[in-house]
Chains A and B, each alone.
Chain A
Amino acid sequence: MISHMRSIVARFVDLLKPLSTFYQENTVGDCCIRLCAIVYIDFQQTGTTREMCVQVPPKEVDVLVIGGGNAALCAAITARRGGATVLVVEAAPKFYRGGNTRHTRNMRCAHDTATDHLTGPYGEDEFWNDLHRVTEGHTDEDLARYMIAQSKDILPWIAQQGVRFQPSLGGTLSLGRTNSFFLGGGRAMLNALYLTAERLGVQVIYEAPAVSVEIDNGAFRSATLRSNGTDYTVRAKSLVAAAGGYEANIDWLKQGWGERADNFLIRGTPYNRGDVLKMLLDNGVLPIGDPTQCHAVAIDARAPKFDGGIITRLDCVVFGIVVNRDAERFYDEGEDFWPRRYAIWGRLVAAQPGQIAYIVFDAKSLKMFMPSLFPPVEANSLAELAAKLELPAEAFLKTLTEFNDAVRPGTFDHTELDDCRTEGLALQKSHWARRIDEAPFYAYPVRPGITFTYLGTRVDRDARMQMANGGKAENMFAAGEIMAGNVLGRGYAAGIGMTIGSVFGRIAGERAAQNARG
């Protein structure tokens, strides 16, 4: 409260300062007019519309950043602070800027002590062990450890760029020690970074996808952007590619998944098409990561095709059973804690006929998990539920009856691996198994929701792209999801995508500026 009053007084003093000299040679009336003018100008400046006016790219810049998310902005800010002229080109319209960053909420950085927002230390070794575990070894240890070491500086650095943090969100207490949550979420984080970048003089152009690049034997020359139907060629001394993966490119996904990909839902914007990644790989950049894999979770089947984000996720698998279109169970729903298992369910559902499944539970579980966007399908009997879900009623009732009969008595506790399990089923439920017998009965239809892809460009510690012919790129750097496969070849750990983006974004921006300025 006191600091608040102080800030108000300070604001007044700021407004009045220019008046003190003016006052000595002018009348009170003049001063009033001047004060009004100052207040008015102050208003006008609160909403500069520069990015709306300038949509024609310059012909040449020091550093061209393709992409508009966390990694791109960290690179742009660092390069600009390094003295380079910087152009950021984002394929999406302004509202959808930032790719997957707009749906994030935290980042995972190593830190030695608890802070205002983190409940305890998270050392480099622990971070490495977590990363090694989730990737099952599919990581470049040297690069990963380097990233983890660098992540220590990221929290204070990114706070200096205007990003604000808060303690972990309700329902995410398990991340309170390791992950720093953005106040207001990922879009708030992006807004802060864009504000800083624009203040520094970084030029940003929206709705300007790169349609081609000129790369000459590992040396970037120029990129052609399409903006408002016109093509512009921009030459740059350095390129930072931070344009994400290809999770929204269904045709590309089909190369790994076949026609099944038609039934996938994409959790982020439709602009994550991977065009830049493809152009780079076509121009001799060395790939890394499994092209047939993507991070997929089971999300509400009623979600929109694109950009449903966090609110379509469902955290109730462990409380019930999951059946496919034939009303058959297909995996142990209670195998392990949900945070450790949620990431396999996208792939599991993708393997089912029609790429659809149904999480079925009853009244006693309804309020045990985070609410989600759509209400569950509700019915007063299991037969009615089968009808509403358009599942074969007989098979559905058989599956439910067999499951209920197999449930052993136990003490239910969803916070530990409890002793509620089934016995005698071909496919057991190992924990949290309770009879589904209390009306009303509920179900959520689920489909695979694709978060991100693993294929990317190989880089070194300088975020410099490596070439397929064995050399290093002369002036091309990559950051964010487009190179995440270097350290995250498989699996996922909450917040690590943002760590990769910020750490390598900052490195890429620094090296790109150094390269451009000689």
Chain B
Amino acid sequence: MHAVDNLKEAERLMTVCNSCRYCEGLCAVFPAMELRRDFGDGDLNYLANLCHGCGACYVDCQFSPPHEFNVNVPQTLAKVRADSYRSYAWPKAFQPMFDRNGTAIAAVTAISIAAFILGFALWHDPAVLASNSGQFYRLMPHNAMAGLFGAITLYALLAIIMGFRAFWKDIGASSVSAGSGLTLWQATKDAAGLRYLDGGGVGCYNKDEKPTDNRRLFHHLTFYGFMLCFAATTTGTIYHYMFDWPAPYGWTELPKLFGIPGGIGLVIGPAGLMHAKLKRHPDMLDPARFGMDTAFLAMMFMTGLTGLALMLVRETAAMGITLAIHLGVVFALFATMPYGKFVHGFYRFGALALYAAERRADRPAKTIRKT
């Protein structure tokens, strides 16, 4: 369906929901909706990114399919949300990355892995790939590694910031000072605990009308796993440059203490989320975005898995090729970060901040209406 149609359907649903309001206690979306009487594109993009997809409003709704009113809020907001990622992406030339996102990310990843393998082989004797020295930096000097990944990280950060600015403007966040310290703190708490992925308190709904909390659990494993891995890399870099203490690090050093549980989280979390996705009631899924969701989970999973594998095989002949694969995956992860599901976290956080601000101000944000 075209993005315009998705917005139109979302507007229809918000009109239905606003005349019912039975779901207002379930999450943030419905109280935010109640502050409004009509819904511009910016409002709908805000509500769509505020929605965590817990599914409670679908199983609780007396008008969900097969009812003729066909009220399917989780699916419709998922579509609008994914459309919004595309529309905010910077630079515009890369927006089509979202059209066949799974393929695009897979292609970038494959090229990236191939480039690392080729790079190692060309840089050194191809035999170096099979050496069992356990020394990463013989394959790629530390400065080169840090430089390359520093650059791609900065680029990803820049692109994400630019996208976020577009989102922030679209949802009218400044009109209620959504960037204030208190609202950001509230949003941080709500995001860190996934407050609204709990089906209104009993756990989110996935397969049917019986609540479970699995998705929140696996999301926590994924998110905190990612953060731990990030912390592991950061501490490693600090050790290297500030203390002149290069890798490898012992089992009790911080990079390992962060990296191992982080890697395990990154393996179990995405696997669990993927499993949940396959079990999810088809009514609540956006089939067109299956590739995007899957690619994101696969990238997280691969990052964790190859990282752990690297640790296990570093003393063996498989180290070279494993390092190339791991670096390839991580490079692709950062390169595609602004052009995939990864951005959901930033927009959701922004939406939570606006929600906190609207609650404080007791009025809706002013969005620019296209007439």
Contacts and interface: CB of A to CB of B under 8 A. Distances in A.
B223 interface: no
B239 to A, nearest CB: 29
Interface string B237-277: 00000000000000000000000000000000000100110
A59 interface: no
A4 interface: yes
A46 B60 contact: no
A339 interface: no
A373 interface: yes
A310 interface: yes
B292 interface: no
A184 B19 contact: no
B194 to A, nearest CB: 8
B206 interface: yes
Nearest to A182: B22
A444 to B, nearest CB: 12
B220 A187 contact: no
B21 A170 contact: yes
A269 to B, nearest CB: 9
Given A11-B217, A185-B62, A187-B62, A46 B67 contact: no
A95 B57 CA distance: 14
A17 interface: no
Contacts of B200: 164, 183-184, 188
A449 to B, nearest CB: 14
Nearest to B193: A1
A309 B66 CA distance: 15
Of A105, A171, A311, A367, chain B has the most CB atoms within 10 Å of the CB of A311
A43 B210 contact: no
Contacts of A169: 21-22, 24
B59 interface: yes
A311 B210 contact: no
A185 B279 CA distance: 26
Contacts of A181: 25
Contact of A187 (B24, B60, B272): B60
B20 A8 contact: no
A42 B20 CA distance: 35
B34 interface: yes
A431 to B, nearest CB: 25
Contact of B62 (A46, A102, A170): A102
A102 B200 CA distance: 18
B15 interface: yes
Contacts of A185: 20, 22-23, 60-62
Nearest to A48: B210
A186 B21 contact: no
A5 B20 contact: no
Contacts of A191: 59-60, 209
A373 B62 CA distance: 14
B19 A105 contact: no
B67 A184 contact: no
A20 B182 CA distance: 44
Contacts of B360: none
A307 interface: yes
Interface residues on B, range: 35 or more
Contacts of A373: 15-16, 19, 69
A166 interface: yes
Interface residues on A, range: 35 or more
Contact of A46 (B19, B59, B69, B210): B210
Interface in A91-124: 95, 102-103, 105
Interface string B220-246: 100000000000000000000000000
A46 B22 CA distance: 25
A182 B24 CA distance: 11
Contacts of A46: 206-207, 210, 212, 214
B26 A367 contact: no
Contacts of B276: 43
B23 A184 contact: yes
Interface string A173-202: 000000001111111100100110000000
B192 interface: yes
B97 interface: no
A164 B25 CA distance: 10
B234 to A, nearest CB: 24
Nearest to B14: A371
Contacts of A311: 16, 19-20, 63, 69
Contact of B22 (A39, A164, A184): A184
B284 interface: no
Contacts of A170: 21, 24, 31, 34
B213 interface: yes
A370 interface: yes
A7 B208 contact: no
B18 interface: yes
Nearest to A313: B19
Contact of A371 (B23, B37, B217): B37
Interface string B310-340: 0000000000000000000000000000000
Interface string B40-57: 000000000000000011
A158 to B, nearest CB: 15
A309 B69 CA distance: 11
B17 to A, nearest CB: 9
Contacts of B201: 164, 183
Contacts of A103: 62
A372 interface: yes
Given A1-B189, A103-B62, A311-B20, A43 B25 contact: no
Of A1, A48, A304, chain B has the most CB atoms within 10 Å of the CB of A1
Nearest to A170: B34
B63 to A, nearest CB: 7
A518 interface: no
Nearest to B216: A8
Nearest to B268: A39
Interface in A278-317: 304, 307, 309-311
Given A1-B189, A12-B217, A310-B22, 20 more contacts: A8-B213, A8-B220, A43-B279, A46-B212, A46-B214, A47-B279, A164-B201, A169-B24, A170-B31, A171-B21, A184-B56, A188-B59, A191-B60, A309-B63, A310-B19, A311-B19, A311-B63, A371-B15, A371-B18, A372-B19
- CB-based closest 3 A-B pairs: A185-B22, A166-B25, A184-B60
28 contacts: A1-B189, A8-B213, A8-B216, A8-B217, A12-B217, A43-B279, A46-B212, A46-B214, A47-B210, A95-B67, A169-B21, A169-B22, A170-B21, A183-B201, A184-B200, A187-B60, A187-B62, A188-B200, A191-B60, A191-B209, A307-B67, A309-B63, A310-B20, A311-B69, A371-B15, A371-B19, A373-B19, A375-B15
Interface of B: 15-16, 18-26, 31, 34, 37, 56-57, 59-63, 66-69, 189, 192-193, 195, 198, 200-202, 206-210, 212-214, 216-217, 220, 272, 275-276, 279
